[in-house]
Structure 1
Amino acid sequence: MDSAREPVPFEVFEEGVYLHGTKADLEVGEVLTPGRESNFEAGRVMNFVYFTETLDAATWGAELAAGPGRGRIYLVEPSGVFEDDPNVTDRRFPGNPTRSFRSREPVRVGELLGWVDHPPEKLQAMRDGLASMQRDGTAQIDD
């Protein structure tokens, strides 16, 4: 699937379509499972797979993920139950406007091509904000 539109905060990409942003180089059809290293915290193994229905949140994931290589956005198909991601739901935003979820079950991936990055100044502002949260100890992941 190809998407050349700019990400819009809180806008659902396509109803019922889930996205995962990362720098991991995955093959179409591969299964993404919990137990992989965090995209954002070196040395931390994650207990969940995280995904979203918004292109904006997936784009942030692809742009901010640690590691070498280009960011990628994958279309993901959950294989089991999933829940709202408590890292953003009600903690950072009332309800779940980012439509962010997590699951202990595997998800199958397909790649979304042609997505558009956030503007460089917006990306830098986000990186600065995250660095500040890490310095203050408020960047905890509830996993």
Structure 2
Amino acid sequence: MADTPERFRVHESGAYFHGTKADLKAGDYLSPGYRSNYRPEHISNYIYMTKVLDGAVLAAEMAVGEGPPRVYIVQPTGSVEDDPNVTDKKFPGNPTHSYRSAEPVRVVEEMTDWVGHSPEYLSRFREGLEKLRQTGTAVLYD
């Protein structure tokens, strides 16, 4: 759709993307049960992915850890469900095309043709997340 904001536009490939700072290779698997990319004190029960490239880019940029942000095309090995963190709990339906799986996902390849967000945008995004944490409304459905 021409009027769909970029942050909600499904990539023309229809692929699932995962944003992180981890240095992975094709054939690697991402599995639940490890520290969250965003809350290192939390062990994640799911692997999160999106069909929106811009969402994966933002996830990679927001991830904690060393190294550059990376975006991977991933292939689920099992069932996939809507991510309640950005769907019915916060937005009606699934406009961000965000998903999660309790089963591993396989890295297909690294996506290198993307443009990052401005430092100002990332700063505002981090400030917004910090406000949610301070008010106790940064709920994680995991």
TM-score, scaled to structure 2: 0.91
CA deviations 1:7-65 (Å, max 9, x no partner) are 92101112530000011111221011111110111221101000000012101100100
Q: Which residue of the partner structure matches residue 120 of structure 2?
A: 121
Aligned partner letter, 2:62: L
State the distance in 1 between where 2:133 and 2:58 align: 17
Secondary structure of the equivalent of 1:135? helix
Structure 2, unpaired ranges of 5+: none
Within a 5 Å distance, the mapping from 1:1-143 to structure 2 comes to 8-109=6-107, 110-143=109-142
Secondary structure of the equivalent of 2:124? helix
State the distance in 2 between where 1:101 and 1:93 align: 13
Aligned partner letter, 2:45: N
Maintained 8 Å contact 1:18/1:52: yes
Q: Which residue of the partner structure matches residue 4 of structure 1?
A: none
State the distance in 2 between where 1:24 and 1:48 align: 16
Greater length-normalized contact order (CA 8 Å, ≥ 6 residues apart): 1
1:70 Cα deviation after fit: 0.8
Q: Give RMSD over aligned pairs.
A: 1.3
Paired residues, number? 137
State the distance in 1 between where 2:54 and 2:91 align: 15
State the distance in 2 between where 1:111 and 1:55 align: 12
CA deviations 1:106-132 (Å, max 9, x no partner) are 111121013110122111110110111
State the distance in 1 between where 2:48 and 2:82 align: 10
Aligned partner letter, 2:38: F
